[in-house]
Chains A and B, each alone.
Chain A
Amino acid sequence: DADVTQTPRNRITKTGKRIMLECSQTKGHDRMYWYRQDPGLGLRLIYYSFDVKDINKGEISDGYSVSRQAQAKFSLSLESAIPNQTALYFCATSAGTGVPEQYFGPGTRLTVT
């Protein structure tokens, strides 16, 4: 069974719509991350959370928001989707201080038309 799951796996939406991507983990990790992947650009950090009460912006947070509903759940929202937010989105987790290894979910392919 997957330790990090993401829903939906694929989503097509229209410009201006609000959309939420969800991530759940069973690894018991405190830290969770949202990345965006575009061809030729690698993975870029959108938001990260070190615990339920701690949310931090990454390098490309504009146009996105997040919610950490529980230790195991971290959601990413696009308030008003635009076409250049078409990308692969990945959730990741890590254990905490001194243990930097990150473990990724299978990704969500989002298309904004």
Chain B
Amino acid sequence: GENVEQHPSTLSVQEGDSAVIKCTYSDSASNYFPWYKQELGKGPQLIIDIRSNVGEKKDQRIAVTLNKTAKHFSLHITETQPEDSAVYFCAASSYSSASKIIFGSGTRLSIRP
């Protein structure tokens, strides 16, 4: 079955700098890659996703890139702000797996003032 690895487990960046979180997946059939943000005491919230027919997607300060050949995908956050502090999860799924999403282990991002 699918396995998703996520690095780093913790990340601390200066406010205003960029943050990058990387994930790899094992199942070449995976074609949907969401990213979730989890704030303290809350459930995960979908912040951006990418499908396998595109290589990059942007939404304001957040971007996701996908390299299907290498089975890598990454989350990029630019101009980080204090409210970006949270745990971020990458995930992978394929339509053939009937919407079952496999999550990475999470990255705790801290923004230093």
Contact = CB atoms under 8 A, between A and B. Distances in A.
Determine chain A's interface SS by DSSP, over half rule: strand
A94 to B, nearest CB: 5
A34 interface: no
Contact of A104 (B32, B45, B99, B106): B45
Nearest to A50: B98
A90 interface: yes
Q: For the side of the interface on B, what is the size category?
A: 20 to 34
Interface residues of A, number: 26
B105 A41 contact: yes
Contacts of B41: 106-107
Contacts of B36: 104
Interface of A: 4, 31, 40-45, 48, 50, 58-59, 90, 92, 94, 96-98, 100-107
